[in-house]
Amino acid sequence: MKTAFDVDKESIKLDIGFSPCPNDTFVFEALINRRIDTAPYLFHPWIADVEELNALALSGAMQVTKLSFYAWLLLGSRYLLLDSGSALGYGCGPLLVAGASCKSLADARIAVPGRYTTAYLLLQLWMGGAGKANVEFVRFDEILPGIAAGRFDAGLIIHEGRFVYQRYNCSRLVDLGEWWEQETGLPIPLGCIAIRRDMASHKEAVENLIHDSIIYARRNPEAGGDFIRRHAQELDAKVTKQHISLYVNDFTLSLGSVGNDAISALKERAELWKLL
């Protein structure tokens, strides 16, 4: 692929992890494909489910990476939070949904998209710190098919799932983002971009490049279409557009004071229930 900018042999090569979800591929496409000037950096993408990225970060494997905010709260001594690239906002929280056979959550088999996801932290907070019972950790894209097949009674859905769960004959039990907003009046912090602390000297430059990548994507929304479609789980163009509109917002450009207040509130509640 020809790009507008060349990177010379003296470039600084950085691994960067992010999910295949449309909001992340929208944010990072211009950075990865050098539609913006990234010099002196050359970014090598590691595209994986966010829980896989959380696990890699636990071992310090990734230099720059997407993390669930829950994972970042657990890894703050190892990773620095970047101001750009986060998924944080209103009306975008995880949904707890149930299949037609689910009669009660008390003994329901609940599928959860990862031990270190913010979705799981929110479920535990909503359940008063007792959310560990009857949960099974699976990839996010296995949850709705698993409920439909009878493997699970209920599931905690994220990403594109919030737009398509009705197709699987599921009903919404609670919107955990809506619950969070009612409790705090703040947006829900879902995912962030972080840089390993030994790479701290590159923090500001990487932040600025992610910011520029987002600006480019907003000004040229069709430019990254092929890249986004190639990695998306849900190929419906309308769903993809809804996904990007919901999860890429002004907080993605910069957390700001409100975003940082939301992160502090999440940390305080997690500490209160001894979940950190």
Catalytic residue ranges? 159
Q: 98: buried, middle or exposed (CB in 10 Å: 19+, 13-18, 0-12)?
A: buried
Spatial separation of the C-alpha atoms in residues 272 and 48, rounded to whole Å: 31
The residues pairing with 97 across neighbouring beta strands, listed in sequence order, are: 155, 172
Q: Report the run of H or E that residue 112 belongs to, with start and end.
A: strand 110-112
Token pair in block for residue 154: 């209920």
SS3 letters across 41-89: EEEEEEECCHHHHHHHHHCCCCCEEEEEHHHHHHCCCCEEECCCCCEEE
Cβ neighbours of 59 (radius 10 Å) = 8
- Say which amino acid occupies 112: V
Region of 114 please: left (phi>0), alpha (psi -120 to 50) or beta.
left
The continuous run of DSSP H or E covering 13 comes out as strand 12-18
